[in-house]
A and B are shown apart, each in its own frame.
Chain A
Amino acid sequence: MAFHKGQMVRVLRRSTDESWEDYMDGLVGSRGIVTDPDSQINDPDALIEVSLEDKGTYRLPQDCLELLEPTS
């Protein structure tokens, strides 16, 4: 899955990626918007920036994210 700027997403599950930290468990279930995907090569392994409603902006691994709307 490659994400694009402006897509609505949900943090679906905790990630097994090494960049996942314990405090991020509290983000599971939050919804938000992709604010900075990998703007170089759309690498599915890259960490992407997501703004989560009421939680703030985090750079998260993509495997924990679920798209909430179809790709336009």
Chain B
Amino acid sequence: MSFSQCPVHETLLELKKIPADRRIVHPRGRRLIEEIATLVGDIVGARAGAEHLPCIDTRVAELCDFEDDPVSVEVGIWLKARLTEHDEVFRSHAANRNCAASVCDHLTPAPCQMACPAGIDVPTYVSLIALGHDDEAIEVIRRDNPLPWVCGLVCTRPCEMMCVRARIDTPVSIKFLKAFAAERAMSVGRYHNPRKTPTTGRKVCVVGAGPGGLSAAYYLALHGHAVRVIEALPRAGGMILVGIPRYRLPSDIIDREVAKIEELGVEFRFNTRFGKDVDLESLRAEGFEAFFFAVGAHASFNLGIDGENDFPQVHGAVDFLRRVALGERHCPGKNVVVIGGGNVAIDAARTCLRLGCEKVTIAYRRTRKEMPADHEEVEQAEEEGVHFEMLTVPMAVTGEGGHVGALRCLKAKLVTVPGSNRQSPKPIEGSDYDLVADAIVSAIGQRIERHWFDRMPDLAWTHRDTIRVNTVTMETSLPGVFAAGDSVTGPATVIEAIGGGKRAAIAIDRFLAGIPQPKLPPVPVRHQRPAYLDVPAHTKMTLKRPEMPLLSVDRRRTTFQQVELGYTENQTREEARRCLRCDICRRCGKCVTICKEKMGVDALALGYLSFDHPHESDFRYTERRCISCGACAANCPTGAMRIEDRGPERILSLCGTILSRQPLVFCATCDAVIGTERYLAFIRGRLGALVTPPPNADGPLCDVCARKKGFQGGATIMATS
């Protein structure tokens, strides 16, 4: 299957053409094909139940055996082959409501869900949070991500980068909504594990208790396998425990979510180093049939400058952060220089401040604009008092008597290197100077500790010194051995590791069952389609993403307390209502085209529908111009745009956002709904010259009542005022 075609949708189109094209004249053959087309149509339209596919199979078998009509048999055989060839895709459509090719309108995941490396059903859980159903939201999240609370605090949120709401103002604060729901669900005791499948008796070993390992362990345990996690550190969490400082992610949160995974029967063996305490052979001898490696990238790169290895006060950032995370609280020095411009450098610098360092300076060889660290993190570091020395190239660590005295640096300027559009720092000759320091932390990147795999010579590695895998299944070059996380991608994100762990768990389950592995990466699964929440257009436009309240700067400089304090309940519910429900509106723009070009009304200011060139969007604009004709709703392929009469009003809404609300005009004789004033005026404008309006003495009349009284038509052509 290619990315641009959907076999299910294509089958439906073919089925619709077959009776005419192949001249099927036998009534029974035609009926069977029509029934199959109806059933496939249900699958494409997200209306299928569990019985649809077996029903189709029965009818196809009947068609194949229908010897009275050879053409029908031919079609039956064709259908059978198609269903067999694309069995997985049909099942994915019917059971999971997924269309990998984004062809079937009702089954295409929203951009935020597509963007999430773990494929979390974002619109569903955001809607549930808006309704106050936090526990249900967590249940939805944990189908794809076993660590919602952790991710609610530290995720890099690719979902928000793709959020369509950002084309109007700012993205929905998806990450913090998740944190709120997880905290609330945990707090009220409604953070539950899903039901496990019966025990299979198969044993899987997970190496590494970081996000990737925890994710794989969770899904493997849910599949009924016996899982043992071995971890070199004394606690679970991996990089989220020892790489992310406590002021961003309190360890209690990791502990609570790990405890939930442990509840599923996952066995943890801490202080156990793969390659030292256990190896593949010893684990195989214990009965483990499959292995998953998520060992992270825990080693720091060396600076490669003079004096780096001569002083105990020179630390690798990853080692330094690990020691602090595991309880060491020694201040590394009064005057610390951190080398690097990435997130780890920022974390190390902010940690130094909290340990009591008087002055912390980040030395970076390019300018602030080129710093790879997140801008928010840099700003927070600056607020806390971290100094920045830009265009600074470290040359040597100097000192006396085993104590660091300074970092010798050169000033640099940025120059454009021929053949590259990236500016590189070029040291300025004679600009060397000493940056006074009594401790230095180097944060110039991380790598995998490859030597622990020395006894696995057949394990393939990439030129980046990462484990080579097939990224669809996370299989390594060794049968039954899978890997994910930073040891595969290099230093990456928590959510990617979680997604990789989940993918590996699915592949391990198939490996154990002897089922062939898929050839394409999985497409996110839409679990539900919650009903729309009615939000007036004005509210939708004026609700703003709340600012995250932060701990006071004094407290931030002195303690490891969580910096981001979280939203209040009101802020959370309101923020969730900003969601545009892109799981339903596919932004095809048909509504805008119909309204503007066919009806000539131009009442929809939905500039955000364009990915490339979003222009002005204002839901409130529709109220001023809409005639309530319903043409947009009639042509909407997904049911996102709706027009309905509620009591005395006709309401036009887009995924619950009420765009227009107009009073209805009723027939003075029979009380039938005629339309709205604007709609009637629009029709009069079109037909007025063709027919003579009847007198309007008794009030508006519907067409039927008007004709009964001898007129050509009703209120659609008569004055109603």
- Which residues of A line the B interface, CB within 8 A? 1-2, 4-6, 18-19, 21, 23, 26-27, 31-33, 35-47, 49, 51, 53-57, 59
Contacts and interface: CB of A to CB of B under 8 A. Distances in A.
Contacts of B433: none
Contact of B161 (A19, A27, A33, A43): A33
B370 A42 contact: yes
A40 B696 CA distance: 76
A52 to B, nearest CB: 8
Given A21-B472, A51-B161, A56 B523 contact: yes
Nearest to B102: A54
Counting chain B CB atoms within 10 Å of each CB, the highest count among A27, A39, A59 belongs to: A39
B372 interface: yes
21 contacts: A1-B421, A4-B372, A5-B374, A6-B161, A23-B521, A35-B161, A39-B374, A40-B445, A40-B491, A41-B342, A41-B372, A41-B444, A42-B341, A43-B445, A49-B117, A49-B492, A51-B111, A51-B114, A54-B102, A56-B119, A57-B114
Given A26-B3, A40-B340, A42-B372, A1 B422 contact: yes
A37 to B, nearest CB: 6
The secondary structure that dominates the A interface is loop
A23 B493 CA distance: 22
B422 A55 contact: no
Given A19-B462, A21-B470, A56-B521, A40 B372 contact: yes
B446 interface: yes
Contacts of B2: 26
Interface in B243-265: none
A54 B524 CA distance: 11
Nearest to B443: A40
Given A2-B422, A49-B493, A57 B445 contact: no
A59 B158 CA distance: 12
Contacts of A32: 162
Q: What is the interface residue range for chain B against chain A?
A: 35 or more
A41 B374 contact: no
A55 B340 contact: no
Nearest to A56: B114
Nearest to B317: A40
Contact of B489 (A44, A54, A59): A59
A51 B342 contact: no
A38 to B, nearest CB: 6
B494 to A, nearest CB: 11
B446 to A, nearest CB: 7
B112 to A, nearest CB: 9
Contact of B340 (A21, A31, A35, A41): A41
Contacts of A38: 342, 372, 490-491
Given A1-B421, A39-B342, A40-B343, A53 B611 contact: yes
